[in-house]
Amino acid sequence: MELNPYAKYLDGRDPIPVLTSTDERLHTLTAHLTGAQANTPPAPGKWSICNIITHLADTEMVFAFRLRQTLAAAPDQPHHIIQPFDQDAWSQRYAVYHIEPALALFQATRNWNLLFLATVSEDDRHRTATHPERGTMTLWTIVETMAGHDINHIQQLERLTARGN
């Protein structure tokens, strides 16, 4: 598995403007959807728009912990091992979630993470953590992964909302 499987979406751009703009983009893309449009999967076995937003909220909470965990180890101590998660296992429970609370959770957690990232120094950017499936990465690799992940799902949502589901 690649260190950052979403790097191709970021394509060398600064991740902070991406992270800062995602919430507004999500709201714009979903503002005029009907319940059926938000909750109907585009094909069997595929996520609905609501499922994608719920996944983004879940993932933002994971990233919040990973960012803080990476900076929690003292510089002279071994770095943390970050816990992977199985998005497919988590998504099996997505039917109970609604788009509005998922958007609200994403927005609150993203804003919290952006405040945290505003405190990150240049030295902090190079602090490391190890993902058991991807390897040792820096805090900034995690930030770039977040932004690339955003772009990937925004593109997915743009395709789904353009065709009406």
Q: Does residue 2 have a pLDDT over 80?
A: no
On the question of pLDDT at 164 being above 90, the answer is no
pLDDT band at residue 5 using 50, 70 and 90 as cut-offs = confident
| Each residue's pLDDT tens digit, 53-96 | 999 999 999 999 999 999 998 777 778 888 888 898 898 899 99
| Mean pLDDT calculated for residue range 34-57 | 96
Q: How far apart are CA 154 and CA 31, in angstroms?
A: 14
* List of long-range contacts for 86-92, beta carbons under 8 Å, 24+ apart: 87/55, 87/58, 87/59, 90/55, 90/58, 91/47, 91/51, 91/54, 91/55
pLDDT given at position 76 = 76
Domains of the chain in sequence order:
7-162 (1.20.120.450)
